[in-house]
Amino acid sequence: MKRSQLVFATTAAALLFAPTLFARQFSQQTDLETFASQAQFEMAVISNFQDKPGTFKGQYRLHNKSTQALAAGTGNWQIYFHAVRLLKAEAQSGLKLEHIQGDLHRLTPTKAFKGLAPGAAISIEVSGAPSLVSYSDFMPRAFIVAGNLKPEIFRNTNTEDLTQFVAPFRHKEQLYRYEKPQPDLYKVADTQSRYQDNLAVNAPLNTDLKVADQIIPTPKQQRLTGGTLLLDKQWTIRFPGRLTAEAAYLQERFAQAGLALNKMPGIVDAAKKQIVLRVDPSLKTAESYRLALTDSQISISGADNAGVFYGLQSLLSLTPAQFDSVSLAQQEVSDSPRYRWRGMHYDMGRNFHGKAVTLRLIEQMARYKMNKLHLHLTEDEGWRLEIPGLPELTDIGATRCFDLSEQQCLLTQLGTGPHKDGSGNGFYSRDDFIEILKFANARHIEVIPEIDMPGHARAAVKSMQARYQRLLKQGKKAEAEQYLLSDPLDTSKYLTVQNYNDNSVNVCMDSSYAFIDKVIYELQQMYRAAGLKLSTYHMGGDEVGAGSWTASPQCQALFAKALPGVAGVADLKPYFVSKVADLLHKRQLGLGGWEDGLMYDPVNPFNRDQFASKQVYANVWDNIWEWGVADRAYRLANAGYQVVLSHGTHLYLDHPNEAHPEERGYYWAARYTDPKRIFGYMPDHVYANADKTRSGAVITDLEQLVGRALPTLEKPENILGVQGQVWTETIRTAEQLEQMVFPRLVPIAERAWHHAAWEGDKADTAARDKSWQMFARVLAEKELPKMSVAGVHYYLPVVGAEIKNGTLQANVALPGLGIEYSLDQGKSWLRYQEGVQVSASAEVWLRSRSFDGRSSRISKLPDHRP
């Protein structure tokens, strides 16, 4: 079978010539709507195995299932579609491919287009890089535009079921990323490989510990003292005035689980059946606590309010998801955090998911003692926070649609489609954000706002251009220029990693810093309205397009001033950071940034002393071992920066849960990142995490791989902690977001809070795997049910299975989850139990099930993956 047939099998010829008599242009909205509802726009990977390593060949196909022919010639229509790779193609079959901006591409008929009859199909082959091995590499909501008619989405692409318009991944050249100069060594998961991978975690546990007695994150010391207590409605919560909020939170959480308790201010030591909350100054370490359970009293003492809060979270961790009474082991717990920074980064700039899911994320972070929420509020694809006085930021910058002028909205991106009600649009109002701040503060979580600049700033740049045009038309030139972020005469040429050529803020213009100061001012007012103080501002700073500002008259004028340290384009990034740091210093704020925003090149940080801010910290993310930059955490810490470990290989939750085309996510840092991999991350031993290259080759000598000496950590006090990241290019809905974050957030919290005995320059893998066995069971049996009660969507692992001697053997990566099987292709499902007899020739479908009836993606036997 030929390659083109391999991707799309058709019953008609690939191209049929439409009789001119029946073909016409689109002149009526109903004609365009009917065509888009009946014709099918389809996408496919032909092969990732190309002569140039890391590239792919793909195909886009229009199948005219309507009754209307497309006329020959240029016509009055174009097809727009989203593609996360920059696509290239020679004109084929009379169609011209163009890249518009970001992921938006366009197909336009030329004079050579010979028409398309009803029932016929036409296709165009494209190339690009890097490889494509996942359905989620493709975006929904392709649409057709004709003259002044309203754009219409191809109905078959207006779905989150990407298999409806993406051809199946069946062949090796589609499933694997490359074959040379070395093969892709990561095996695509199948039902049998999952079964083998899951054997270790499903082995019998050699421990006397019970799942019910486990606390997550693991405390420093936990000692069972013998006996039990019955926690029921006879108990009362007692507390001093300063712990009023913590007592109310505990009462609310118990009520949600089904136990109604009274609370009373003041502490009566002699009383029975009391849950007593105290602040104990003798506990010297911030956020530390002690928890003691006896038959007549539960005592929670904290070094501060946060410590008490974490103590009550440990008490809640001992209880089931739902109960009105429960027997708990009497015990003593003494605990304090490993790191003072236990964070989660959430990007709603790419796709906005709403306030409710943000509040659920905060609640889950609090349950696992995480204390920093890094909100990525702005991006090329969206500005997500109302700023008083700058309405264009949300009127235009928070919405994507089809508007090539970008005077009504941003250009559509990331599968939003042409309409303002498409996925990913929206923003937090000022009141929403204040509510979020209060909600987080009540749970001892600091919200750190990020306004990403000077790169990744297209939403801001375009919004301020629209503001400029509006005010200029009103004759208000000075006001129009007040917050302008771009130089109209700048002819610099660049293309970013995300394929934008117009997203850099001009760092040479005073109006850019006026804009930043205005935004910071309004942020401060929101924090004050919430009864809080903004302490840290994150500037972003990453992935600035190479070539930005090289042809800007404003920058040439700046160089002409001969300011110290500003002699050319290479000085502009540290100049920008210095200017922002000066603004923040005046407002008594610390500064955060992504690592590459604070470095000249892969090995040389900016001079820390040039920044006025007392605190400057870096999120260190790029630890692709063979790229030679995985030592940046230590280089920045040694240079005087504070560091938050944010490593892509272990802490990026936008990566797939397993290597499989039906798993959502990018895979540039790691082919997959499952909970076990995160659990095994060792933040105190960065180089010890170097297990495999991106191709899957085992790393035995990191220094040899990098080709130079790796610095040691000279200033460990500058490592603040650990942070998980979720980026949302492929995450369009709240449900998708939560399924990527949960339960993987939990092992991140574990590593940020608890230093495991098995960690070291070389991990004790036997001890680690034993710890993981218990942790996985606790996740399945205690934590996922609690997430269900809280309304959280979460990922369920796919079932592994084999048939041996006529017996079905099945397992799952989180023991304790239910397993179901079907012998009639999903028409009916049976509960799996060991010893199920099936025919060796049977087709078996399997899925894991949560206690509330949610199910995983289906796996099948036999599985014919190559």
73: left (phi over 0), alpha (psi -120 to 50) or beta: left
Query: Which residues does residue 138 pair with via DSSP β-bridges, in sequence order?
Result: 83
User: Which residues participate in catalysis according to the annotation?
Assistant: 543
Both tokens assigned to 6: 């391999």
Region for residue 496 given its phi and psi (left: phi exceeds 0; alpha: psi -120 to 50; beta: otherwise):
beta
Q: Report yes or no: 682 and 750 within 8 Å, Cβ to Cβ.
A: no
Laid out side by side, the sheet with 77-82 consists of: 95-101, 104-109, 77-82, 143-146, 152-153
442 forms beta bridges with none
Beta-carbon contacts of 83 under 8 Å, excluding residues fewer than 6 positions away, are 103, 105, 128, 138, 139
- Measured CA to CA in angstroms, residue 95 lies from 8, 42, 164 at distances of 19, 15, 24
Sign of CA dihedral 767, 770, 776, 778: negative
Report strand pairing: 830-831 vs 859-861: unpaired
**Cβ(98)–Cβ(108) under 8 Å?**
yes
Residue type, 287: E
Query: Of the candidates 866, 811, 750, 766, which has an alpha carbon nearest to the alpha carbon of residue 339?
Result: 750
Enumerate the β-bridge partners of residue 231. Answer: 326
d(CA 329, CA 225): 8
As given in the structure block, the two tokens for residue 258 are 């089904």
Distance, CA of 725 to CA of 705 (rounded, Å): 27
Within 10 angstroms of residue 400's Cβ, the number of other Cβ atoms is 31
The token pair at 323 is: 């109960």
The Cα–Cα gap between 741 and 793 comes to: 9
Q: How many CA atoms lie within 13 A of 441 on its CB side?
A: 14
Please name every residue paired with 57 in a beta bridge, in sequence order, or none if there are none: 47, 127
**What DSSP element (H or E) covers 471?**
helix 458-473
Strand pairing report for 642-645 and 719-726: parallel
Who's near 832: CB < 8 A, 6+ residues apart?
808, 810, 818, 819, 820, 821, 846
Residue 844 · residue 801 · CB < 8 Å: yes
* Token output for 644: 């938050």
149 vs 145: CA distance, rounded Å: 7
In degrees rounded to 5, what are phi and psi of residue 360?
A: -65, -40
Residues 635, 636, 637, 643, CA torsion sign: negative
Of 546, 548, 545, 612, residue with least CA distance to 577: 612
The span from the CA of 163 to the CA of 36, in Å, is: 18
Residue 626's Cβ-count burial label (10 Å; 0-12, 13-18, 19+) is middle
Cα–Cα distance measured from residue 383 to residue 395, given in angstroms and rounded to the nearest whole number: 10
- Nearest CA to 722 among 754, 694, 768, 758? 754
Number of neighbours of residue 724 by Cβ within 10 angstroms? 26
Distances (CA, A) of 250 to 30, 310, 786, 788: 58, 11, 15, 19
